[in-house]
Amino acid sequence: MNFQKLAEIYGTPLYVYDFNHFENQFLELKKAFKARKSIIAYAIKANSNLSVIKKFASLKSGADCVSIGEVKRALLAGIDKYKIIFSGVGKRDDEIEYALENNILMFNVESEEELYRIDTIARKLNKVARIALRINPDVNPKTHPYISTGLRESKFGIDYDKAFEIYIKASKLPNIDPVGIHFHIGSQITDISPFKEATSKTADLVSIL
């Protein structure tokens, strides 16, 4: 591909995306889970270009969103609302309301306080909110400390040792449907062993629940 020619035609700055590569990577990941019912959710914070999101929508991708703006972009680009996950800290009441009114798949809940807030808002709207608790598995992701989110001293997620108790509380809330467990231990991780450790601990918790 002649990028110089493209720059002459369209000017700069110019962003060129290889949609064939996106599709091949997505389908390879999907194939790895072919024996299980699964949703591969594109993290919109990686690139929120509407054309990129639309491409993933055409592949039946879900969307992982960390702001209400990303939820709106996912809907606008054609992601199925039942494949949209609303993650992220500090969700405002109006953002929770919008997500509930649009019947997204679920919220990833960061704290016990957020859990009760979502229950209160869902009750007001006469809705049931599907949620997954984001646990902190206390695993060293072996990456830069600024983008490490899976250790106990991290501000993200619910302490692993408290997760069982909070999940039971969630199951008793009238407008909450706890459907999963979520973890995110960091970014730019090049060693698979932290994922194996975090997944093993999470599987143990699921088994107990």
- Beta-carbon contacts of residue 182 (< 8 Å; ≥ 6 apart): 87, 108, 132, 133, 134, 135
C-beta of residue 133 within 8 angstroms of C-beta of residue 209 = no
**pLDDT given at position 147:** 45
Percentage of residues in the chain with pLDDT exceeding 70? 92
Per-residue confidence of the chain (209 residues) as pLDDT tens digits? 899 999 999 999 999 999 999 999 999 999 999 888 899 999 999 999 999 999 999 999 999 999 999 999 999 999 999 999 999 988 999 999 999 999 999 999 999 999 999 999 999 999 999 999 999 887 876 655 554 454 455 556 888 889 999 999 999 999 999 999 998 887 787 888 888 988 999 999 999 99
**pLDDT given at position 150:** 45
SS3 assignment, position 139: coil
Crossing angle of the two packed helices 93-101 and 112-124, in degrees rounded to 10: 60
User: How many Å apart are CA 99 and CA 143, to the nearest integer?
Assistant: 32
State yes or no: cis peptide before 13, omega within 30 of 0: yes
**Stated pTM of the model:** 0.88
